[in-house]
Each structure stands twice: as C-alpha cells, then as structure tokens.
Structure 1
Amino acid sequence: MGTAERYEAPEHGAAAEGSARQGSKAPGRAIPARREPQSYYRPLWIEEPARRRRLPDPVRTAAVRAVLIVAVTLVQAIVAFLCTLAGSWLAFPMVLSGVASTVVATWGVLDVWVTRQVWNQRNGVVSVPSSTARALRRERRRARRQAKAAGRTQDRIRRRGGTGQLSHP
C-alpha cells in the first residue's frame, strides 16, 4: 500500500481499506487477508537549531574561495610529485606553478582572516553582557541623570535671580 493510500482522510480511509482488503481475498476462499501492521508517519530528518551563527556573506565568500584555491594547490602538489617520480618533463613546470599557487593559497587564507576582522570591526560583535556589567551601567546612567537634573535645577535657580533660595546656605 502506497503513502497516499495509507494517509487518506478518515471518512474514506476505513471504506477504502475494507474494499482493498476484500479485493485481496482469493476467490472461493474464506480466509481473510492478513492485517498490515499500523505504521506511523516519521519524518526523514528533524530540524535542529544551529549551534553556531552563520558566517557573514563576505567572510563566507572568502572562505569558499580559500578552500577552492587550497584544493587546487594540493592537486598541483600531488601532480608535481607524481611527475617527478615518473621523470616527466612536466615535473619542473608543475613545481613552479605549485610554488606560485602556495603563495596564492596563503593569501586566500589570510584574506578570510582579514575579511572576518574587518567585518567584526565594522558591524560589531554580538555580545551578551553579564548581569554585573549591566548593573554597573544602570548605576552610571542613574548617576548621570541625577547630575543632569541637579545641573538643570541650578540653572533654573540662577535664571530666576536667586529667588527660592535661602539667604544663608
């Protein structure tokens, strides 16, 4: 029985199942068909939240570029080694291109590191401050607000020409 037949709507499922079973009986025999075990729907995979955040686009692009360059460099090194063992004329050009691609691969890996540092510097790093740091910031903000309020009060008193202030402090 296929997936579509197994998961029919309830009002049609029982009737369709019964007619399917009756059709499976051998003509002239009174032995009913065997009941299939009930199977349940099980998804092929279960989505899990990512453990780490996805890399930013420029960093990911640089990383893919670096991986491709390093892969080509490794293939060139293997070909150069095998050509050297075989005594082929291609060994010397492959060694030269292997040296050049090693330089390029080093640049590619450094490019990933630099791109990541630049991205972090421009866009900031997501950080969750600890509760103590949050409390200290809250206290500093409160002290600044009180100082501003006291300064405004003093300015207001000065503008009025000293009214509302005691003659003897």
Structure 2
Amino acid sequence: METGEWRGSASADGFAGVRRGLWVEEPAVRYRMPDQVRRAAVRAVIIAAVTLIQAMIAFLSTLAGSWLAFPMVLSSVASTVVATWGVLDVWVTRQMWNQRHGVVSVPSSTARQLRRERRKARRAARSAMREEARIRRRGTNRLSEA
C-alpha cells in the first residue's frame, strides 16, 4: 500500500480510479454550544484579544520610551481583570445552562445512573403495590364465596 492510499488519495500511477466528491460531510464530534454560552465565549475572546493588543502596545511603547507606556500599562492591568471576569462569565454561564436544561447524557454521567436507579426503584414499588392489590382481591373473593 502506497503512502497516499490509506488517506483516500490516489496512488502514484495517477487519479484514474479515484471518484471522490468535492465535499465530504463528516458528523460533528461535539454538539454546538448553547447560544448564551457561545455569546459569553465570543465576548471573552474579544476581551482577551484586546488585552493582548494592549499589553503588546504597552511593552513596545516602554521599549521606545514613549509617554504612552504608563497609561497603557495601567489599562492592560485593568483589562486583565476584565478578561478574567470574561472567562469566569463563560464558566458560570455554562454551569447555569447545564443546571437549567439538564445534564448532558453521556455514558459516564452520574445523573443518568441515578435516574436509572430511581426508575428501577419506582417500577419495583409499583409492581409490589400491584401484587399486593391482586392478593387482597383474591382474598376477598374467596371469603365472599364461602
């Protein structure tokens, strides 16, 4: 097997037998983020980008000995605090969304296991009640016949 064959491309003798579409759709590995979480994440990325630009300008103006260095250092410090808030905002928003809309059900999910156990206990209790009612009905029928 040639190097390119395992990747789905043509072998060394050309593209003679290769018939592939231009667009190959692959299933998403992860689901799309909820809108609120995505908005918070975009905000955090923009704030972090602005913070990095401010820090770079502060560093370069310090090297150049410019008057702009001190105000840029102060704004970079403030912007770092705001960027930290932005990242925490993403985390809190994600946690709130998970709490309001339920746990993502994955095979290792603890919540799924607890739900399964509760469901099993409810079924067992219901069947026990049905069995008890059936036994009571049988007992009353026999007493009325006698």
- TM-score normalized with structure 2 length: 0.70
Of the candidates 80, 99, 102, which is equivalent to residue 124 of structure 1?
Answer: 102
Deviations 1:103-130 (A, max 9, x none): 1000000000000000001001221458
Tell me the distance in 2 between the aligned counterparts of 1:135 and 1:112.
31
Asked if 1:142 corresponds to 2:123, the answer is: yes
Asked if 1:48 corresponds to 2:26, the answer is: yes
Tell me the distance in 1 between the aligned counterparts of 2:133 and 2:107.
32
Asked if 1:92 corresponds to 2:70, the answer is: yes
The amino acid across from 1:61 in the alignment is R
Distance 1:128 1:63, change over 3 A: closer
Tell me the distance in 2 between the aligned counterparts of 1:41 and 1:116.
44
Query: Post-superposition shift, 1:146?
Result: 2.0
Q: Where in structure 2 are there 5+ consecutive unaligned residues?
A: 1-15
Q: Is the 8 A contact 2:98 2:104 kept in 1?
A: no
After TM superposition, list the pairs within 5 Å mapping 1:52-67 onto structure 2: 52-67=30-45
The amino acid across from 1:93 in the alignment is P
Distance 1:90 1:128, change over 3 A: closer
Tell me the distance in 2 between the aligned counterparts of 1:116 and 1:139.
31
Q: Where in structure 1 are there 5+ consecutive unaligned residues?
A: 1-37
The amino acid across from 2:103 in the alignment is V
Of the candidates 125, 131, 141, which is equivalent to residue 164 of structure 1?
Answer: 141
Q: Which runs of 4 or more aligned residues in structure 1 lie more than 2 Å from their structure 2 counterparts after TM superposition?
A: 38-45, 132-142, 150-157, 162-166
Query: Post-superposition shift, 1:152?
Result: 4.2
Asked if 1:113 corresponds to 2:91, the answer is: yes
Report SS of the residue matched to 2:24: coil
Tell me the distance in 2 between the aligned counterparts of 1:135 and 1:87.
67
How many residues align structurally? 126
- TM-score normalized with structure 1 length: 0.61
Report SS of the residue matched to 2:141: coil
The amino acid across from 1:123 in the alignment is H
